[in-house]
Amino acid sequence: MMKIGIYNYWLSTLGGGEKVTAVMAEALSRFHQVDLIIPEPISKSVLEERINVDLNRVSLRIISQENQGTPNFTEDYDLFINTTHGSILPTKCKRNLMYVYFPIKLVGSSLLKKKLKAFLFRRFRYAFPQEGFYPVERYKHLAFRWTGPYASLRIPLPKLAHESALELSLRGHRPMGAAHPSMRLKVGGEEFAVVAPILPGNGFQTVQLRIPERQGRNDFLEVEIFADSYRPAAVGESSDERDLGLMLGWMRTKNGAEPLHWLLAKFFLNFDMRLQNQFELLASQLNLDCYQDICSVSRFTQKWVKRHWNRDSSLLYPPIDVENIIPLDKQEIILSVGRFFDGHHNKKHLELINVFKEMCKEGLHGWRLILVGGTHKENIHREYLERLIRTSQGYPISILTDISFAKLKELYGSSKIYWHATGYGEEEAKRPDRFEHFGMSTVEAMAAGCVPVVIGKAGQAEIVTHRLNGFLWKRLDELKRGSLNLIRDEALRRTLSHAAMERSRYFSRQVFEKNLLGTVERVLTTP
């Protein structure tokens, strides 16, 4: 029996990717000792009810969020599996597997550009984060890190240290009405408090400090950050339980006037943040080399893993509860399932609502549109949900939030048509991450005999074959026309419904578990 650790930073969001993680843990726990590694406590009963798993043989292990960027805890396992979307976690385990929903971009620019960025990163002496930082996040397409109450960095020093200064880019954020955040720095052991408070705002501000002359004998400058912190969940801002200090965009040392840096920063927007981001990309590339195998959730993801990482990957479609989802007495319901959030992977609920309203105005009677999804506490996502509710008023449209899987199965069973629109209006070549990487809810609906009428792009096109077990569309008028064909032709709907049920079995839990066990065996036996 092996000891396996499965890591998912976002498990508490209880989305489709998190269901894959939990099913993976359940399957492997029948043969191995399994820890589900998470950053904050969550009830097993909540996991089991919301995503239909049995975790009786699985242990939950909490890893402090500030320590998620250090790999020491991975040494405890014979196999470490990272299923966290958007994270290439460093690992010290000898055998490692990564499950990828969609890859962050590591490669793609020319070799000359990458070498130039690496040269400039060293030339202008950007920081190497050490400890006390949370995992990398994105702000307006640039990387930044939240500090906790304490954080430390190492920064290369210029040769003439007596003329040098420390530059750092920070953003302070606190809830409306709260006191401004403050911080103090220890630079080479000397304390500075002149940068407090950091004013909140939409951008990052640059602070400059003199470096003590006695540091000239060293190659690196040791910097410590002590920040006032707050917990978003404690003030009702979101469900985030982290103790957040400050956002750090970039930090570097400078040596007097630097005309080349001034010129490049003048002509290239966010020049310093882009170069600090280069460290994160280089580190991620090195971390990626620790993983013996990569599993992609779909062929669409496989394609982008190859493009972004230059790595081949195995195909491991996610597990779907097709055996436990059955058709019931069908009603005149069009169903769509997807989390209610405003962002780059938005489920396009507003577009679906408007299409259904058009159909009603053109004479459709007796049919309902039901939108189902999880919610988020952040203001931007609450406002998005409220906008959907307002737009739906006066029409037979229901919006159901955070329902149990048992209730969702009933809706799958009683609905006749299933809609999915993620990726509509987006350009795959420019933003492939905005498309549905697979589409678990589509397969769940098909298992219950719902006929899918879904966007014919990315993962959806791997699930549905046009006119054989559903309809694929690229324009909203095609979505409307395909749906009306099913509404008006019951024989056609029944034929496609049975074909959809047959197709769904290809993505069953049994198929997933068989392929997963084969993959794990291969990783464990690879020399």
Q: Tens of pLDDT along 334-357? A: 999 998 988 767 899 999 999 999
Q: Say which residue, 90 or 161, is predicted with more confidence.
A: 90
Give CA angle at 96 (519, 275), nearest 5°: 125
Confidence of residue 137 (pLDDT cuts 50, 70, 90): confident
d(CA 456, CA 479): 10
Q: Is residue 164's pLDDT more than 60? A: yes
Same fold, 125-257 and 322-507: no
Q: Which residues of 219-230 are buried (b: 16+ CB within 10 A; e: fewer)?
A: ebbebbbbbbbb
Running DSSP on this structure, what letter comes out for residue 183? Answer: E
Average pLDDT on 96-111 reads 79
Please, are residues 182 and 196 in contact by the beta-carbon 8 Å criterion? yes
Note the CATH number of domain 322-507: 3.40.50.2000
Domain extent listing, the chain: 3-105+288-318+511-525, 125-257, 322-507
Structure-block tokens of residue 414: 């009683």
Q: Tens of pLDDT along 295-311? A: 999 999 999 999 888 89
Average pLDDT on 505-524 reads 93
d(CA 498, CA 205): 59
Q: Say which residue, 27 or 219, is predicted with more confidence.
A: 27
Confidence of residue 175 (pLDDT cuts 50, 70, 90): confident
One-letter amino acid of 477: D
Please, are residues 345 and 434 in contact by the beta-carbon 8 Å criterion? yes
* CA torsion, ordered 392, 398, 403, 409, to nearest 10 deg: -130
* Confidence (pTM): 0.74
d(CA 302, CA 314): 8
Please, are residues 21 and 8 in contact by the beta-carbon 8 Å criterion? yes
* CA torsion, ordered 304, 310, 312, 314, to nearest 10 deg: -40
Q: Is residue 196's pLDDT more than 80? A: no
Instruction: Determine the distance from the C-alpha atom of residue 452 to the mean position of all C-alpha atoms in its chain, rounded to a whole number.
Output: 25
Q: Is residue 395's pLDDT more than 70? A: yes
Q: Say which residue, 176 or 125, is predicted with more confidence.
A: 125
d(CA 424, CA 401): 23
Q: What is the reported pLDDT for 107?
A: 56
Q: What is the reported pLDDT for 138?
A: 67
In angstroms, what CA-CA distances link 326 with 178, 334, 404, 450, 499? 51, 17, 16, 10, 14
Q: Is residue 219's pLDDT more than 80? A: no
Q: What is the reported pLDDT for 342?
A: 81
Average pLDDT, the chain: 86
Spatial CA neighbour of 127 closest among 224, 201, 202, 268 = 224
Spatial CA neighbour of 98 closest among 63, 128, 66, 74 = 74
Q: What is the reported pLDDT for 291?
A: 92
d(CA 172, CA 180): 8
d(CA 353, CA 359): 10
- The rounded percent of the chain whose pLDDT value lies above 90 is 46
Note the CATH number of domain 3-105+288-318+511-525: 3.40.50.2000
Average pLDDT on 195-210 reads 70
Please, are residues 382 and 238 in contact by the beta-carbon 8 Å criterion? no
Confidence of residue 285 (pLDDT cuts 50, 70, 90): confident
Q: What is the reported pLDDT for 199?
A: 63
CATH class held by domain 125-257? mainly beta
Q: Is residue 381's pLDDT more than 60? A: yes
Confidence of residue 488 (pLDDT cuts 50, 70, 90): very high
